Amino acid sequence: MKEFILIFRHENATGKVSPEQMQAWMKQQMDWVGGIAAQNKFVGGTGLLFDGAKVVDHQKMVTNGPFGDIKETIGGYVIVKAENAEEAAEFAKGTPILQGEGNTVEVREIAKH
């Protein structure tokens, strides 16, 4: 079985959601992860904090980011076991992240040595 990373891409992640929304979202995301884990296909995953985030450009310029010019940010990832990318994409369909318009989940196979 192969491993795939599901990368959550957020558009306009300004963090302007109510605590109630956050709570509901968290619960759905946990149920979704639990469902994958119940199939013994959850490998790992985590959220990525925005606090103190930086972007370093090719001139080694460090800016507070990833806000501003960059519209799309990565909010977190989950790694799953799947036979193929199609199955991994099926898993991706279940995440509540996709309820946000413009948000996407990128599915990529993890290279193994």
Partner 1 sequence: MQSQDLIPHLFRTEYSKLVAVLSKFFGLDHIEVAEDIVSETFLAAMETWPYQGIPDLPNAWLYRVAKNKTLNHLKKHQLFNKKISDGFKKSNSWIEELEVDLSEQNIRDSQLQMLFAICHPSISTESQISLALRVLCGFGIDEIADAFLTNNETVNKRLFRAKEKLRTEKIQLILPSDEEINNRMEAVLKTIYLLFNEGYYSERSETLIRKELCLEAMRLNFLLLENPLTNQHLTNALMALMCFQASRLEARVGGSGEIVLYQDQDASLWNNELISRGNYYLTKAAAWPVISVYFLEASIAYWHTIQEDSGEKWENILHLYNQLLTIAYSPIAALNRTYALAKVRGKETSIQEAEKLGLSNNHFFHMLLAELYRDQNPAKVKSHLQKALELCKTDSEKKLIEKKLSQV
Can you tell me the distance from the alpha carbon of 2 to that of 11, in angstroms, rounded to the nearest whole number? 29
Piece of the chain touching partner 1 by CB under 8 A; list 14-22, 28-36, 50-58, 103-111: 28-36
Per-residue binding string, partner 1, 32-71, x by CB under 8 A, is: -xxx-xxxx-x-----------------------------
Cβ at position 37, least distance to partner 1 in Å: 3
Can you tell me the distance from the alpha carbon of 26 to that of 15, in angstroms, rounded to the nearest whole number? 14
Count H helices and E strands in the chain, helices first.
2, 6
Cβ at position 20, least distance to partner 1 in Å: 15
What's the per-residue H, E or C state across 36-84? HHHCCCEEEEEECCCCCCEEECCCCCEEECCCCCCCEEEEEEEEEEECC
Cβ at position 41, least distance to partner 1 in Å: 9
Q: Using the rule CB under 8 A, is 30 a contact of partner 1?
A: yes
Binding site for partner 1 (CB under 8 A): 27, 30-31, 33-35, 37-40, 42
